Amino acid sequence: MANDPLIYVPKTGPNAARFRTPKQRAKQKKKNKAFQTFLDVVVVLLVAGATYAMFKLTNVAPENQEINNPSVINTDNLDEVEDAVPAEPAYSLDLQPVIDTWMATLSGGEAGVQIVDLDYERVVGSANANETFATESDYKLFVVYEGWRRVETGDWSATEAAYGGYNTEECLDRAIRESHSGCAETLWGKIGRDNLEYIIQNNYGLENSSAAGLTSTPSDMARMMQIYYAHKDLSQETWKKIADSMLNQPISDPAGLCGGSCDWRGGLPKGFTRGTNVYNKVGWRHNGAYWVSYNDVAILEYPEYNRHFAIAVMTRGLASTERIITLGDMIEEATLAYLEME
């Protein structure tokens, strides 16, 4: 035995067990069992700790509930309610197929569309939304919002004479309700043309719009409707006046272009016939043969469901407003079908 070569017996590693005696194996088994017991205790403690942490997070004290539970709104400041965006339903309204279908059937003209779900602050349909179109009279939306904001701050007096025997408040109303150009131009000059340009691009974030150039995009005009709907700079009383200006406009054909059939409510509002309230402002230019431009920018309200959307349709080269009316009908039908399931 003395001449037997020395054998290296590893104490650890994959080959250690092959060289252990029965006594060594029994000892190792005992050690393994003790280690397994230790691991079991550690796992139990970790699970208990995680369970306790979850319990603390989901069961807050009453005095801290408003901070930790976002579903509880602090009613001490009711203005915060307007800023709260509700949780979006599991399924979402998608008007893109409607827009795509409508665009595919559009002939003899060009169009851009943007539709925004105002309650959940998300775009639900668009086409050529960042393409530039002429605003025509829709520039008055820029003037009117800034004008009302100045009345609210006290910078302007609502009763001060403005234009043609109308005071400031009356001109702000007529610039929307009747698309009164004299009133709008006067108020625009009072704001300052360069100043309004800065305001809409920097304060309102309408970077692709120019009041002076009378240009904008469907995306920017839909954003302007979002600003109107939120009206964070305005009181609820003022907002009611603006909403009335947009909803209740007289039928008029001042240029005699369409035998009385084209008016400030002759586009989108005529397409919504199932109880939807359309608060809109049009901007157009007709050359006697076709619409060089016809835009319809609006807030859509579905009273039965308390749901609201902004829409901006900007076009050029349309033969008539029938395509815009058809778009309104398609949108209303698809939206109501969705809202009935929401």
93-339 sits in which CATH class? alpha beta
Mean confidence (pLDDT) of the chain:
82
User: Which of 215-229, 237-251, 258-272, 295-309 has the lowest average pLDDT?
Assistant: 258-272
Spatial CA neighbour of 51 closest among 59, 39, 41, 40:
59
| Residue 286, pLDDT above cutoff 60 | yes
179 Cβ partners below 8 Å, 6+ apart?
A: 137, 140, 264, 281, 282, 283
| Residue 247, pLDDT above cutoff 90 | yes
Amino acid, single-letter form, for residue 331: I
pTM: 0.73
pLDDT of 80: 43
Pairing of strands 307-316, 291-302: antiparallel
| Residue 215, pLDDT above cutoff 60 | yes
Residue 171 has which token pair? 């001109």
Residue 206 has which token pair? 């309408």
Spatial CA neighbour of 118 closest among 232, 205, 226:
226
Give the whole-number percent of the chain exceeding pLDDT 90: 66
